[in-house]
């Protein structure tokens, strides 16, 4: 009899959600979403193509990894998001949801690590310009990229494993068009305190730590810049950091707000949470190639040449 009850109350799927209350206009809402997805995919693919054809560009490995993670984030969430807005396909199986949790969170963690490496790159380039080539050699940069990849995969891999061990007998309606670990775990009717503890561990030992180290890098950069007697060179040096600062803000701002809402904003508007979640997924992959193509002259010139030819 208990087994029968477990079968009765164990949902076979989770139900994803578009924008609550606007279901009748989902097709129209999907138009800007689809355009943003397409532009982000084309923009990041163009960045990868330019780096591939011109290996002399500055920090090509870091830019490549940033573009690849942006592509991965777009491709990991686009199928479910467009499925909801175009075809009203809200159902997603448990295994597919857990897989999406793994890819989404591992890619965001890899991107956080890459942004930290790029901050270190800017610090070395500004504080030790004459030793830059000897400190950040291509093999060393490649090893840093590999560490970013392994870090993201190994830290996030336990999340879908922990989620799979739970029984799900509560309301299976998720509030986003993609699966987030912090939301999926609350659907479990078994004890998910391990998920909470491990989730906090990942947040504070990776993303928060990365953000603090990025801030520390820029404190040291400003210290190095202010120690230069000439005022022209510091401005030129800081100008090389603008694109990275913009990308850092685009990545961390919606993530931190979303984390605060899940932790303390239980009474916040569901529509605001959904819109912020979509911004978190759509805006960074869309803006990153635009920011770098505008601020880095070498990439801007190569893009112009591609379209002129």
Please provide the distance, in angstroms rounded to a whole number, between the alpha carbons at the two ends of the chain: 72
8: helix, strand or coil: helix
Please state, in angstroms and rounded to a whole number, the distance separating the CA atoms of residues 48 and 46: 5
| Residue 63 is assigned to a structural domain of this protein | yes
Tens digits of pLDDT across the chain (309 residues): 444 444 455 677 899 988 887 888 888 988 998 999 999 999 899 888 888 877 666 556 788 889 999 999 999 999 999 999 898 889 999 999 999 999 999 999 999 999 999 999 889 888 888 888 888 888 898 899 999 999 999 999 999 999 999 988 766 888 889 999 988 998 888 888 999 999 989 988 888 999 999 999 999 988 887 776 555 555 666 777 888 888 899 898 887 777 777 666 566 677 777 888 888 888 889 888 888 777 666 677 777 776 676
pTM score, whole prediction: 0.89
Report the alpha-carbon distance of residue 62 to residue 54 in Å, rounded: 14
**Residue 2 belongs to a domain:** no
User: Which class for 103: exposed (0-12), middle (13-18), buried (19 or more C-beta within 10 A)?
Assistant: middle
CATH code assigned at 59: 1.20.1070.10
3-class state of residue 283 by DSSP: helix
Residue 3 lies in a domain: no
Residue 7 included in any domain: no
H or E segment and range at residue 91: strand 91-93
Burial label, 208 (beta-carbon count in 10 A; 0-12, 13-18, 19+):
middle
The boundaries of the domain holding residue 156 are 12-308
DSSP 130: G
Q: How many domains does the chain have?
A: 1
112 in the Ramachandran plot: left (φ > 0), alpha (ψ -120 to 50) or beta?
A: alpha
**304 lies in some domain:** yes
Note whether residue 116 is domain-resident: yes
Does 252 fall in a domain? yes
Residue 4 lies in a domain: no
């Amino acid at each position: 009899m208990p087994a029968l009850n477990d079968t009765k109350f164990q949902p076979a799927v989770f139900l994803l959600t578009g924008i609550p209350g606007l279901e009748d206009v989902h097709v129209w809402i999907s138009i800007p979403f689809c355009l943003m997805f397409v532009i982000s995919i084309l923009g990041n693919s163009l960045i990868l193509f330019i780096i591939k054809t011109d290996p002399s560009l500055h920090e090509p490995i870091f830019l490549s990894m940033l573009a690849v993670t942006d592509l991965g984030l777009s491709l990991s969430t686009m199928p479910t998001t467009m499925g909801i807005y175009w075809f009203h396909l809200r159902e997603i199986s448990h295994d597919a949801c857990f897989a999406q949790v793994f890819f989404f969170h591992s890619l965001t963690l890899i991107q956080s690590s890459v942004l930290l490496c790029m901050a270190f790159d800017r610090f070395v380039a500004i504080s030790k310009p004459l030793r830059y080539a000897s400190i950040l050699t291509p093999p060393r940069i490649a090893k840093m990229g590999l560490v970013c990849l392994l870090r993201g995969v190994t830290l996030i891999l336990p999340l879908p494993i922990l989620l799979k061990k739970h029984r799900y007998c509560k309301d299976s309606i998720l509030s986003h068009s993609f699966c987030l670990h912090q939301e999926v775990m609350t659907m479990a009717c078994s004890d998910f305190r391990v998920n909470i503890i491990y989730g906090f561990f990942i947040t504070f030992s990776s993303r928060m730590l990365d953000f603090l180290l990025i801030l520390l890098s820029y404190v040291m950069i400003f210290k190095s810049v202010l120690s230069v007697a000439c005022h022209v060179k510091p401005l030129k040096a800081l100008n090389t950091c603008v694109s990275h600062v913009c990308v850092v803000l685009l990545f961390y701002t919606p993530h931190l707000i979303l984390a605060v809402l899940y932790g303390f904003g239980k009474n916040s508007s569901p529509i605001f949470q959904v819109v912020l979640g979509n911004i978190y997924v759509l805006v960074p992959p869309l803006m990153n190639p635009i920011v770098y193509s505008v601020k880095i002259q070498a990439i801007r010139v190569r893009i112009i040449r591609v379209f002129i030819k």
